[in-house]
Structure 1
């Protein structure tokens, strides 16, 4: 299918000479999608703890440490600008940095106390502030959707809400999942820039792959290039060569590469403006052997077989039906084999809607919609074998099929040190 350019030149999205990524439109479109889903789900507001949902509605980039130890929270009422709570003196720069929040910046007074006792934060005024804002908007008695505090007690939160007059709590996580599943034009542009940054890192890896380099050192090569190119953060790298490819270890270690090795790299979760990659490619140290070429051809064909079922109106079941059963890899159930043939949405999270695995698709197939962005990945390597390979493409669902966002050569193995 086509490789469409979504309006950028893949450079830094700043220029006075031509239109590039329209961030004002990005923010407005994301808010409209979130509010449309809130209305559909009957919510008066959303209280958000997850960093990717906070970014979706406020554009605030949460510091890395706060992703697992939350110090920042957002409230999205039905109307008006979102509210953002944070800690530390830097929150007093937010008014200038994020004028679209209209001054709705609050100090999360009890957030640090959460490290000692969860109730201290709730009792410290945070939930009372939320209740006061809901009352000002006339929505205190309407359902409040919550995406769930990741590391703290939901029971403490529910009790604090009740004490402050918030009596109707609802699931906000699924609301945000639905809002995020269809990508705006600007989101697709950012996903494509993120993929382009990953390709620059693949090029560095291609030059570095040779006998003696370790997987750890190769990770350093990739990380340096990704960060220098503008990636905010890299959630994960999978770098496996030789025997670590079968089964897929999904990590990297101190193994040194040797002549004849086949391996794969997944640049997983390299973030540009929050938008991620999930991007496997396979490499060899030297010329690929015939066996390696055959393994790779099988992985390539299975990946593109799944992609052939992708278009708006088809379902996730149509995709998984293009792939063999778990017995192909020597397993007897889908739960073990799922990561050998899967797909998932990608955006501000690594696994957006839809999740495309056989066990879920057969039980509850999901209709593919235009402008979903999904990553499809297939592994080939028989159980008990000595090597394996993997192929992955990121694609945009269109009414007639798909557009490919990932452009690193895929029809053949990338041969290095030749």
Structure 2
């Protein structure tokens, strides 16, 4: 079966592009030079090659505010939208000066006053002024973050495949959960189900682990035993968008009284956190949910934005203590994480993908239990 690489649907890429151009105007950016793959897909709608690890910055995409023109680094036009003509494509080059020569000939490069980049390296910090001789180089990432933080209706719909695949992956791992099974087998079951659903790229590294009965933040190693509390966490990257879901289950016999009480604490915490997801509410309300139910804050973010990768905001005790907090807006999508622990029993970890609407929170992930 042949698979054709297609650009994102017109309404999806147009809606995103309009937001990016609006933020370029708000941040007074004449030209935006992008190197981060999520930002490039956001403005172009062209699927990007996924690789493990990080990439060094390079001028892979250029957006001109005055005309809305987009220039894209691509060796061919497969998956490139029609509105980005072949004359606006430029090829790969090992020599950075070759790329600088390309940038020099972009309409408006010679007269641009402010040029933003979403990242930079010392090499391109020295070379880009040659391409934009009259421009001040500034940080363009805030403009892209602002554009991406609130999702369009088309983006919410585009997250559907990732949500469905993540739910299926978790359900497949749950079906294999029993005494004697290994964490690796559980992870394999989840990844196999995701691949069968058309997604071979997980969005998160860990899938299954036995929670420790001796320490709140440690994991046990070895095969699953009866009575263990096992966390299953699945993230899927489909069509560029990320969805995450996590649940914890007790293995073997039905949960005893102490374990049921722990699961009850988890439900109370997650209910408080979901209730805190409303437009205009401060992000610190998600931290306050832990305090409200008497649970200690975990050493990980309790929420982070989802979209084409990870988007703002990131909500954690560390950022809050540093005075960094935000307000939630309708249209945001968050991965909301709750964790409770009891010595001698283990921990209960839960994560949901939550869409903040005008009327409050809409939980997008299913419940395989």
TM-score range, shorter chain: 0.7 to 0.9
Residues 150-229 of structure 1 correspond to what in structure 2 (within 5 A)?
A: 154-166=121-133, 167-229=135-197
Q: How big is the shift at 1:142? A: 2.0
Check 1:324–1:206 CA distance in 2 against 1; reply closer, same or farther (3 A cut): same
Check 1:62–1:385 CA distance in 2 against 1; reply closer, same or farther (3 A cut): farther
The equivalent of 1:114 in structure 2 is: none
Check 1:356–1:242 CA distance in 2 against 1; reply closer, same or farther (3 A cut): closer
Deviating beyond 6 angstroms after TM superposition, the runs of 4 or more aligned structure 1 residues are none
For structure 1, which runs of at least 5 residues remain unmatched after alignment? 1-20, 111-120
SS state at 1:76 partner = strand
For structure 2, which runs of at least 5 residues remain unmatched after alignment? 1-6
| Kept after mapping to 2: 8 A contact 1:246/1:388 | no
Aligned length: 356
Check 1:290–1:327 CA distance in 2 against 1; reply closer, same or farther (3 A cut): closer
Residues 43-192 of structure 1 correspond to what in structure 2 (within 5 A)?
A: 43-65=29-51, 68-69=54-55, 73-78=60-65, 79-86=67-74, 91-94=75-78, 97-103=80-86, 104-110=88-94, 121-123=95-97, 125-133=98-106, 136-137=107-108, 140-149=111-120, 154-166=121-133, 167-192=135-160
Q: 2:358 aligns with which of 399, 406, 415?
A: 399
Q: How big is the shift at 1:209? A: 1.0
| Kept after mapping to 2: 8 A contact 1:395/1:402 | yes
Check 1:84–1:146 CA distance in 2 against 1; reply closer, same or farther (3 A cut): same
Q: How big is the shift at 1:100? A: 3.1
SS state at 1:28 partner = helix
Deviations 1:243-268 (A, max 9, x none): 38954458xx9721122211111113
The equivalent of 1:118 in structure 2 is: none
Matched, 1:265 2:232: yes
TM (norm. structure 1) is 0.78
Distance 2:286 2:302 in 1: 9
Larger helix proportion of the pair: 1
| Kept after mapping to 1: 8 A contact 2:109/2:131 | no
Cα root mean square deviation, aligned: 2.7
TM (norm. structure 2) is 0.87
SS state at 1:282 partner = strand
Distance 1:157 1:377 in 2: 38
| Kept after mapping to 1: 8 A contact 2:46/2:80 | no
Q: 2:212 aligns with which of 237, 243, 249?
A: 243
Distance 1:155 1:326 in 2: 48
Check 1:289–1:317 CA distance in 2 against 1; reply closer, same or farther (3 A cut): same
Deviations 1:364-395 (A, max 9, x none): 4322111111121111114x655111112221
SS state at 1:170 partner = strand
Deviations 1:282-304 (A, max 9, x none): 12222222222221211221121
Q: 1:36 aligns with which of 7, 22, 32?
A: 22
